[in-house]
Structure 1
């Protein structure tokens, strides 16, 4: 989701900061950090994102170290006169004149929500079978079903209708 919001070109401006360092079982935190890097952050790190640690008991010094690293990167880019690029979602909304539901981030969010709805629907069906006959369980099940319908409606609201897309396209082609 983060990559869809920011885009690949913004990753060199990202710092992924972990906390809880300096506590009892640092070995467990090392393992968790390796897992985050390998499973979740690897593509961001490949794009230039950096990982930093906020050490317990040294929060202020750790935080300032991270801030200095960020400022150093900003200064380096300024010296190199690198053009500041907008986030991917900014480019899609402003430059490409897309509606929010048409952006990569919204499409990714919609796909994730649809997967959650599907899983929730399956779970509810299983629960319905399990609680047949229990009045309180049936009431709770109805509440869950209402939540699923609400999420489904939110997903539906993220879609842009064909008339709106055509109107936007005509406006872009004709020019206001």
Structure 2
């Protein structure tokens, strides 16, 4: 089964509801959704979503962790509630994933804010994915590719 990355959150009503509730509780975060922040989220997701992600839940976990880190790094608040960003029951897995992302991508996280040319490069790539999506009338994904995943079994992280 193939799932486009952009529709990951749409596929799971629970995740969508948690995100909507998060926005209702934090209306100032609607302002977070601007071009600079979307490019930042895209930069993280494109580096982290790999073709070997074995199930939808793992894909959601990566995408929501990237979103959490983006809010934390680029947002206006000192901290954000963790619950809307959790997919699995283990907060430890979430924090391990956060640390892994920061360790792997902190250079890029700093670079996107320091170098206008790097920001433009990422923005142009993201824009081309969106154009490819509208021209071909199919779902484009991060890095303009489709990631094959299958639904996870309860508590399992292996492919079905």
Structure having the higher Rg: 1
What TM-score does the superposition give when structure 2 sets the normalisation length? Answer: 0.26
Tell me the TM-score normalised to structure 1 length: 0.24
Structure with more relative contact order (C-alpha pairs < 8 Å, separation 6 or more): 2
